[in-house]
Structure 1
Amino acid sequence: MEKEYYKNLAEKYFAGNITEAEISELAGWIHNNVQLSDWWEEEFEKSDTDIPLALRNKMFARIKAEVLNEPVRIPNTKPAGRPPRKALVPAWARWAAMICIPIFIAFFTYNILSISDTDIQSPFIVKADKGDKATVVLPDGTDVILNSASQLSYLRDFGKNERRVQLDGEGYFKVAHDTRHTFIVQVGELEVKVLGTVFNVCAYQDEQDVTVVLLEGKVGVHTPSSSLIMKPGEKMNYNKSTHKFTTEKVYPEDYVTWTKGSLYFQNESLDNIMKALSRVYDVTIHIDSPRIAKERFTGTIPGGGIQNALNIIMLTSPFRYEVKDSVIVLKEK
C-alpha cells in the first residue's frame, strides 16, 4: 500500500498535478533514504548517453533541487559567442519527461523491494522553522498545520497497525476517521488518542505545560499513571513536573487563531507570551525584569509584526521595550 502511494505521488509530480504537501512527502521519502537517493542518481547518470553534458548537468541540478531539495552547482558550459534563443518549453523539461518517468517507474517497481528493516524504521520528518508554518497531509488523509518552531514525525509503517505521530511544538489536527486504526499524537510520555476528530496540541519543550484543546469529536489523553476523556469545548493542561491533569471549558476556536495568523492568550504570563512571539516572528526577546515576566495578559493579537504585538500588550502591561543589537529588551516603565 505504501509503495503504491509513493509511486502515485511520483506520477502526479511529472503530470504536474501534485500539491506542495505531496511534493514535500515525496522529497522526504527519497531524501531520507540514502540507498534510494543514490540509486536515483546512478540511474539518471546512465539514462541516456546521447544527452549533451551541459544539458544533463542542468537537468540533474533542476530535478535534485525540486525533488531532493539539494541545490547543485552547475558548471558554466555556455558556448561563447552564441546568442541566446527563446523556447516555449525548456529543453531539460522535454528530456525529463522522456527519461525521468521511466526511471521513477523502475525506481518504485523494483528497488523499494530491497529496503531494509532499518530503513523502514527511519521516520518522515516535517518541520516548521521559526517565523514559518507548515501544512502536511498524512497518508491517511489527516490534515495537520504546524506552528512556528514545530516538528512532526511518523514512521513509514504509519497506518499499518496504528496511526502514530510524534509532535514537538504545536499542531492543529483534522484527523481522518478510521475506526480500525487509532490515531495517536505522542508527546513525551503523554498520548492523545482519537479515531477521527479536530483538536489542537501545544507541547513545546521549553514550556512547563502540554495543552490539548478539543474542537470536535472525542479524545482520550493518557500517561503511564493516569488518563482522561475530553469533550468538545474543553482545554486540558498537563504539567510535566507534577504529572497532573487540569481541565476547563473554553471557546476552542480562540486557541486555533494562530492557523489564520493571529495569536490568542488566556491569562498567560509575559514570559510564555514572549517565547511564543519569538517563535512566530523569529526574533530574540529578553525580559529585563522578573516582575515583568510574571505579568499576565488576555486577548487576541492580530497579525502585523512584532512591534504591533508588543504595542498591543503594552496597553495593559507595565513595560517598555528597546532594540539592542537586533535583540528586543523588555524593561519596566
Structure 2
Amino acid sequence: MKKNDYIRLSEKYIRDEATEEERERLFDWIRHNEKINRLMLKRLEQAACDVDHDTEMRMYEHIRTSILPKNKQVCLNRSWRKTIRRAAVWLLPILSAWSVYLFTSRPSSENDLLTITAPPGERAEVVLTDGSRVWINSGSTLTCDGTFNHKERRVFLKGEAYFEVQKDARCPFIVHAGEMEIEALGTSFNVNAYPDINHVSSVLLEGSIRVNAEGEEHILSENEQIIFDRSSHTLSTGKVYAADFIQWKEGNLYFENRSFDEIALTLSRVFNVEIRFASEELRAVRFSGTLGGGSIRNALDILSLTSSMCYEMNGTTVVLYCK
C-alpha cells in the first residue's frame, strides 16, 4: 500500500471506524515497520512505570508480535479484544504521531487534511513533526493541513487541548479554536473550545500568546486566562492558577464557577455517559473545585455533597434531581 493508504487506515482506527480487515492490514504494517517499532520502544521508555529492562522488553515484544498473529486466520477472542481496547490509549498517540509523520513527509497540498480525534472517554497525546506536543482531551479533534511546518504551523481545534510549542520565530504556531485565533512562540497553554459550551477560553502556563477574537487582540502573560463569551460576544481576561486548568491531563476535572449544565456536558464526554436533568433548576447551579476523574460516581458524589443535587444511575444513563 502507498503512504496515503496507511494514513487513511490510521485515521480510521483512531476514530474507531476501521473494519476488521482494515485493522489487520494496519497492525500487519506496524509489525513489519522498523521506524514505528522504534517509536513504540521510545514510548515504552517514557512510560511512567517502574519496570526493569527485561520486563520492558518482554512487554514491547508481546505487544508488537501480538498486535496481529502471523496466521491471519486466527480470530481474536473477546478477552484479547478487550486487551487491545485497553491499549488504545497507548496506541492512539503512536498512530496519531506516525500519521503526522507520513502526512508531512510526502508532497502535500493545502487541501490535504489530517484529523486526530480523542473519542469520548479517552485522551490522546501527539508529537507533531516540529517537536511540539499536544495533549487532546476527551471528545476533541485536532486538524492540520498539508502545509503544516512549511511557512507556518497552523492547526484547528474543536474541543480541548494542551500545547507545548517548540520555538521557531520563522514559522509561527497558530491555533484556530472556535472564535479565537491563538499565536504562540515557545509556549505552553491550554485551549477549551467545545462547540456545545457557551465560551471559548485559553490559559497561559509559560511564555506568551497573542489572542485574536471578534477583532480584538490581547497578549497574555503567564497565569492569565482569556474568555470569549459566545452569547454576549465579549472578551474578558483575568489572573488564575494556570496549572489547575490542565488537571484533565492526569484524569482530574477542574471547574471554576461553572454551571451544572456545563459540568454535565464535560462528565458526559469524559465518562461516555448520558446525563439528564429531572430538575431543570439544577442547570444553573454553579460549582468551583476539582472532581476526581476515577469514576463517574465519584464525581457525582462530590457534586451531591456540595449542592442540593441527587442522582440516579442506570447503566450509562444518569438522572439529576433536587434533594
TM-score by length of 2: 0.70
Q: Conserved in 2, the CA contact under 8 Å of 1:26 and 1:67?
A: no
Alpha-carbon distance in structure 2 between the residues aligned to 1:26 and 1:217: 39
Once the 2 structures are TM-superposed, how far is the Cα of residue 243 of structure 1 from its aligned partner?
2.4
| Residue 196 (structure 1) aligned with residue 186 (structure 2) | yes
Post-superposition CA distance 1:121-180 (Å, at most 9, x none) = 221111000000011011100000000000001012201111000000000000011011
Aligned pairs for 1:1-333 (under 5 A) are: 27-28=6-7, 62-67=24-29, 76=73, 117=109, 121-324=111-314, 326-333=316-323
Q: Conserved in 2, the CA contact under 8 Å of 1:211 and 1:238?
A: yes
Q: Conserved in 1, the CA contact under 8 Å of 2:178 and 2:195?
A: no
Q: Which of the two has higher C-alpha Rg?
A: 1
Once the 2 structures are TM-superposed, how far is the Cα of residue 290 of structure 1 from its aligned partner?
2.1
Letter in 1 for 2:308: P
Once the 2 structures are TM-superposed, how far is the Cα of residue 31 of structure 1 from its aligned partner?
5.6
Alpha-carbon distance in structure 2 between the residues aligned to 1:67 and 1:26: 11
Q: Conserved in 1, the CA contact under 8 Å of 2:178 and 2:193?
A: no
Alpha-carbon distance in structure 2 between the residues aligned to 1:221 and 1:123: 24
Once the 2 structures are TM-superposed, how far is the Cα of residue 304 of structure 1 from its aligned partner?
1.7
Once the 2 structures are TM-superposed, how far is the Cα of residue 303 of structure 1 from its aligned partner?
2.5
Alpha-carbon distance in structure 1 between the residues aligned to 2:315 and 2:262: 23
Compared CA separation, residues 179 and 272, structure 1 to 2 (3 A): same
Alpha-carbon distance in structure 2 between the residues aligned to 1:32 and 1:325: 30
Aligned residues, how many?
Answer: 248
Q: Conserved in 2, the CA contact under 8 Å of 1:28 and 1:125?
A: no
Q: Conserved in 1, the CA contact under 8 Å of 2:214 and 2:233?
A: no
Once the 2 structures are TM-superposed, how far is the Cα of residue 76 of structure 1 from its aligned partner?
4.8
The 3-state SS of whatever aligns with 1:121 is coil
Q: Which runs of 5+ in 2 are unaligned?
A: 13-20, 31-67, 75-101
Q: Which runs of 5+ in 1 are unaligned?
A: 1-6, 11-24, 34-57, 78-107
Post-superposition CA distance 1:220-269 (Å, at most 9, x none) = 11135211111101111111233211011110000000001111111111
State the identity %. Answer: 38
Q: RMSD of aligned C-alpha atoms?
A: 3.1
